[in-house]
Structure 1
Amino acid sequence: MTKALLRTGVAAAALMAAMPAMAEEITMIVCGDAMNPVQQKYIDQWVAENEGWTVATEVVGWGQCQDKVTTLAVAGTPVGLAYVGSRTLKEFADYGLIEPIPMTDEEKAAYYPNVVDTVTYEDQQWGVPVAFSTKAFYWNKDLFRAAGLDPETPPKTWAEVIEDAKAITEKTDAAGFGLVAKTFDNTVHQFLHWVYTNNGQVVDAEGNIVLNSPQNLEALQAYKDLVPYSEEGPTAYEQNEVRAIFLDGGVGMMHASISAVSRLKDTQIDWGIANLPLGPEAKGPGTLLITDSLAVFSGTGYEEKAIELAKYITAPAPQEEYDLDQGLTPLRPSAKIDSLVAEHPYWAPYIDGIEFGGPEPLFTDYRGFQNIMIEMVQSVVTGQAEPADALAKADAALKDLK
């Protein structure tokens, strides 16, 4: 998406909104390789309960999905409902391309803490969360043993991570920690893990840029301190590439999503999962909260029915069934989720971090935000800038971007 493309479509979208067509078919774009049967089941139920209405779904691959949704919206021929990354909601909202989707206090309270913040901008919700990702800490117990560390005691603080990474690097053939610093979106994500495990923020509740804070400086300094004990050349690696090194036994610790569990079960590695280690200012377990959402686009003439459909298929019972089917971090607590954690304790860290977690910051130009943050991290990792200077530069750039 580009600002230019969005601007050219605002007038067309406004014209469409002024002349709504009384359609009886809701068009819906779903990102992925195939329509999920759980979601299809509940779409079919909604259609059965709403006489005269149908839903036409189109599955679009991940690489093209967001661009197609955007192109249709700015051309004045919007899809009714679409799966989007929540980080794009502010951009769509600022250009008048999507509808607010108000939530009642009861609806908000049903989610885990801070989840609704991922879709909230100027006190309005602009999407309904439909997929949720959090991160946890993985360690290789075999490498801990080889380094003379207690394999059953993972580090709980950043200082302990650095100390353990140093021991693994010096006493084994592996790197201590998998540091993500490639020119890729999850470089921003991993840095935000550190921000939210030290009571930091990028944007405060009033919308002010607060990147240049003591908490975030401590996070960036920890990055610098880890470089000697990480894989060689961190700027060449994104999250999945670091995970591959971990799966080969080449790195002792990493941050990763729940999907790493299924891959580790196929290895000979003795591994463990814990909460993300905490910085000195932390109030409790934290993590980055990433959601994807269902957004309702303006100008179709059936926006209210599309909102109704979006809420129907993401209601607590359907959404929980979808979360469990897809192996996603659950969006809401329930007795069934408690049972899941009791049966599979490795799920606990993914939920523990939610309470003090934070969202992907919402920017109209999200790619601009992403580039500024990546440049900041890379400048420190490569030794081109000191943490304090890099943080101040990025803070000023974000304020100009805002």
Structure 2
Amino acid sequence: MKLRAKLMIGVCAALAAMTSFAKAEDKAIDFIQCGDSEDPVYPPIISAWESAHPGFKIHIEVVPWDTCQDKVTTLSAAGNPPALAYVGSRTLKQLANNDLIIPVPMTDAEKAAYYPNIPDTVTFKGNQWGIPTAFSTKSLYWNKDLFKKAGLDPEKPPTTWAEELADAKAIKEKAGVAGFGVVAKTYDNTMHQFMHWVYTNNGKVIDKDGKIVLDSPENLEALTALNAMVPYAEDGPTAYEQLEVRAIFLDGKLGMTQQSVGAVNLLKDAKFAWGVAPLPLGPHAKGPGTLLITDSLAIFKGTGVEAQATDFAKFLTNPDNQFKYEVSNGLTPLRPVPGVKDLVEKDPHWKPFIDGIAYGGPEPLFQDYKGFQNTMIDMVQSVVTGKAKPADALKKAAADLEQYK
């Protein structure tokens, strides 16, 4: 019995050693996730993928939002890239043109599975360079109590820019508070907020051939309309970014604001009546629009596991897994999967965020996205402070953008 016991111990030890050796030989697929902690939806999805791909192990590194993009870019440029990383889709052109990532082409069926225009957020030169993994749209929030106080119909939000301006004016003059939140701080969402005006008037910044088309009648109308709101906005718009404007609205001291669906949960216990509607439209609009902001999974070049990283990224973002992630994080759905209908029926506030996708447009892709972003911010600030007329500011910005495309 003692000999058998020793033999069994020896066998177990050998098996343990073999298991340990096998694990040591697993190829790591390094995945940089932006955020404060690993997303709770990921572990079971990762386990399922690893079970189907023995010999490969997903290693997640969570990096805070404010340093995530810089870390990904620095590692890649230094020749030590992750296998895949969560990036803002606006960075894809720069990463691709520097030969740091590989294309992730979509089939026609894959493109058709998304809502309209979503694939455009990751596309240039006729190819896709990332897999959309997070999505944000905006809608108009309005304070029904302030509408009523200003003599407006609290159940009738504006549907056009002209109505929006008239409502903002009435709220400022009759209710004594800002009618509309103008975002103009030196911050990325100043550019984002202006793009909502662009895409609610059928405008563009850069076309599919890479031509700058910012200086157009549609965009001049957009910048002029934004500027017209300034007298009825919060004092000193250049001191406010999107979340700071949202805070004023949450406090009940702002008539209207453009915000994401995340504000819905913050308003559940609001002490005032409020509503959500599609963004008002400009004179050239063809239908409801919004800026379509996506973050993506980019697959980095030179890791030796590009094929496996791509397979994992597609598994992580397949229709079922992606929708779980969206529900968990309160994100606008990327695809019209069956669960979206249930989501809207359960909470109708979701509807305008989805309706705006039809005529929405992507965050423009530039080789130097920070240069693009800063040019747009400078343009908006020059107009809202009165330093430049909309037509002059638009023309200058269009010329400045040439160096960044």
CA contact under 8 A between 2:83 and 2:309: conserved in structure 1?
Answer: yes
Corresponding residue for residue 252 of structure 2: 249
Moved runs in structure 1, 4+ residues, more than 4 A?
Answer: none
Given the alignment, which residue of 277, 299, 302 partners 1:299? 302
Asked if 1:104 is matched to 2:100, the reply is no
Corresponding residue for residue 85 of structure 1: 88
Shift of 1:205: 2.0
CA contact under 8 A between 1:23 and 1:302: conserved in structure 2?
Answer: no
CA contact under 8 A between 1:247 and 1:269: conserved in structure 2?
Answer: no
Given the alignment, which residue of 289, 293, 300 partners 1:290? 293
Residue 29 of structure 1 aligns with an amino acid whose one-letter code is I
Corresponding residue for residue 170 of structure 1: 173
Secondary structure, in 3 states, of the residue corresponding to 2:41?
Answer: helix
Percentage of matched positions with identical amino acids:
62
Identify unmatched segments of 5+ residues in structure 2: 1-24
Given the alignment, which residue of 328, 332, 336 partners 1:325? 328
Asked if 1:358 is matched to 2:375, the reply is no
CA distance in 2, matches of 1:264, 1:364: 38
- Correspondence list, 1:67-216, <5 A: 67-216=70-219
CA distance in 1, matches of 2:241, 2:361: 21
Deviation per residue, 1:341-387 (Å, 9 max, x gap): 12211100000010100011000100000111011000110001110
TM-score (norm 2): 0.93
CA distance in 1, matches of 2:149, 2:364: 40
Deviation per residue, 1:217-270 (Å, 9 max, x gap): 000110111110000000000000000001111110000001111111122120
CA distance in 2, matches of 1:334, 1:377: 37
Question: Pairwise CA RMSD of aligned residues?
Answer: 1.0
Corresponding residue for residue 230 of structure 1: 233
Asked if 1:29 is matched to 2:32, the reply is yes
TM-score (norm 1): 0.94
Shift of 1:110: 0.4
Residue 398 of structure 1 aligns with an amino acid whose one-letter code is L
Corresponding residue for residue 266 of structure 2: 263
* Paired positions, count: 381
Given the alignment, which residue of 385, 388, 392 partners 2:388? 385
Deviation per residue, 1:179-234 (Å, 9 max, x gap): 00000000000000000000000011222100000000000110111110000000
Identify unmatched segments of 5+ residues in structure 1: 1-21
CA distance in 2, matches of 1:152, 1:267: 17
CA distance in 2, matches of 1:66, 1:176: 35
CA distance in 2, matches of 1:63, 1:371: 17
Secondary structure, in 3 states, of the residue corresponding to 1:193?
Answer: helix
Secondary structure, in 3 states, of the residue corresponding to 1:37?
Answer: coil
CA distance in 2, matches of 1:175, 1:55: 50
